[in-house]
């Protein structure tokens, strides 16, 4: 059978063909399957990240495909599944319902006050669980088909089902988490699957042995306590401390190598756009001043590969609903796809 890219010129004009980056692959011919999860029901500040998969898809054909780390990385075959209208519709409806709960709590009132919102909260938690199960099934099918998988959210609650499916394949893996927030809250605002609870929920997965967080700078006391009492299962690199070390003469590459040293052999990358300086994704759901430059983040992930560790999957979440944010988000997805592919060939 002919290669799907036999007559494809990666230096040509990007094709608007329905696939991410305009690449000439489908589900069968691709090795990496990207699952879009347009979901942000529990966002507590700025909305719009549910549209990120479409924004990233729209921007992606504008990117050149050459990469200095993995020049032919596109040849692995990358295919993005359809953005489902059904999930978008449910997201729109339940986002409006969740806003009622958030508003009640921000007023310092009980959900049990009239009108009683407790049953609505249960309904929202149930539909979020259903989306997680849908993603678990999609991911599991792709993994069983011999594919690698990545997720584009949505808010940061989006990839939980994928993390759970990876636990069926790997008995031990760690998460490298780039974010302004620790996301270690237990059912934030009552939402069991809140964007602020993704790492709390991930740490319930027995196969996840380590969580290394980088760029944290907007964090509550309980989360700091959770980190401090984790017996080193969670390692945090706070942005102000990172910056102070850099200002004092420590090199970023030395810090990256130290960060990577905490990770096990199998590594999952969870990349929240608000881990970056907000100038790069200013329309992210919860922007925070400070953060990483894009190349700093790429340098860190590059060191994961150089260390001989294997990247087994990734997600990119919280990209804003704007053209520029989509452009940056597409670059993150492409770079992570290439670095994951590179790490697979370093065994």
Express each pLDDT in 95-137 by its tens digit.
Answer: 999 999 989 988 999 999 999 899 999 999 999 999 999 999 9
What integer pLDDT is reported at residue 108 of this predicted model? 92
How does DSSP classify residue 19? S
Express each pLDDT in 23-44 by its tens digit.
Answer: 999 999 999 999 999 999 988 7
Asked whether residue 274 is marked as a ligand-binding residue, the answer is yes
Q: Determine the average pLDDT of the residues in 303-321.
A: 97
Confidence of residue 7 (pLDDT cuts 50, 70, 90): confident
13 within 8 A of 7, measured Cβ to Cβ: no
Domains of the chain: 32-343 (3.40.800.10)
The string of DSSP letters for 211-236 reads EEEEEE-S--HHHHHHHHTSTTSEEE
How does DSSP classify residue 33? E
SS3 call for 337: helix
What integer pLDDT is reported at residue 91 of this predicted model? 95
Asked whether residue 272 is marked as a ligand-binding residue, the answer is yes
**Token reading at 85:** 């209208």
What integer pLDDT is reported at residue 14 of this predicted model? 84
User: Measured between alpha carbons, how far is 342 from 347 in angstroms, rounded to an integer?
Assistant: 10
Asked whether residue 183 is marked as a ligand-binding residue, the answer is yes
- pTM, entire model: 0.96
Q: What's the mean per-residue pLDDT of the chain?
A: 95
User: Measured between alpha carbons, how far is 116 from 110 in angstroms, rounded to an integer?
Assistant: 9
Query: In the structure, how many helices (H) and strands (E) does the chain have?
Result: 10, 8
pLDDT at 62 over 60: yes
What percentage of the chain reaches a pLDDT higher than 90? 89
What integer pLDDT is reported at residue 47 of this predicted model? 82
Asked whether residue 179 is marked as a ligand-binding residue, the answer is yes
pLDDT at 151 over 80: yes
Q: Determine the average pLDDT of the residues in 236-257.
A: 98
What integer pLDDT is reported at residue 5 of this predicted model? 77
> In which residue are the tokens 């009980």 written?
110
């Amino acid at each position: 059978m002919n290669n799907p890219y036999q007559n494809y010129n990666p230096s040509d004009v990007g094709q608007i063909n329905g696939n991410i980056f305009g690449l000439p692959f489908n589900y069968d011919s691709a090795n990496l399957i990207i699952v879009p999860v347009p979901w942000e029901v529990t966002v507590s500040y700025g909305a719009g990240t549910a549209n990120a998969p479409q924004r990233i898809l729209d921007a992606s054909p504008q990117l050149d495909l050459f990469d200095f780390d993995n020049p032919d990385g596109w040849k692995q075959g990358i295919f993005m599944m359809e953005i489902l209208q059904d999930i978008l519709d449910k997201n729109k409806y339940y986002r409006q319902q969740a806003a009622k709960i958030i508003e009640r709590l921000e007023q310092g009132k009980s959900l049990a006050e009239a009108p009683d919102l407790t049953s609505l909260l249960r309904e929202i938690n149930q539909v979020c669980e259903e989306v997680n199960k849908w993603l678990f099934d999609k991911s599991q099918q792709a993994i069983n088909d011999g594919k690698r998988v990545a997720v584009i959210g949505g808010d940061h609650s989006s990839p939980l089902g994928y993390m759970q499916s990876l636990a069926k394949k790997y008995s031990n893996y760690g998460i490298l988490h780039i974010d302004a927030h620790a996301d270690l809250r237990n059912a934030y605002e009552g939402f069991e699957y809140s964007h602020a609870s993704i790492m709390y929920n991930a740490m319930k997965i027995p196969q996840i042995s380590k969580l290394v967080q980088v760029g944290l700078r907007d964090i509550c006391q309980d989360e700091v306590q959770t980190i401090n009492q984790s017996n080193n299962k969670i390692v945090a690199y706070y942005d102000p401390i990172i910056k102070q070390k850099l200002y004092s003469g420590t090199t970023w590459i030395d810090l990256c190598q130290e960060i990577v040293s905490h990770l096990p052999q199998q590594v999952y990358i969870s990349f929240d756009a608000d881990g970056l300086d907000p100038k790069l994704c200013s329309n992210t759901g919860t922007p925070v001043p400070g953060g990483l430059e894009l190349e700093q983040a790429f340098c860190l992930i590059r060191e994961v590969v150089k260390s001989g560790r294997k990247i087994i999957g990734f997600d990119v979440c919280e990209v804003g609903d704007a053209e520029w944010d989509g452009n940056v988000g597409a670059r993150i997805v492409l770079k992570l796809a290439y670095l994951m592919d590179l790490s697979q060939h370093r065994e």
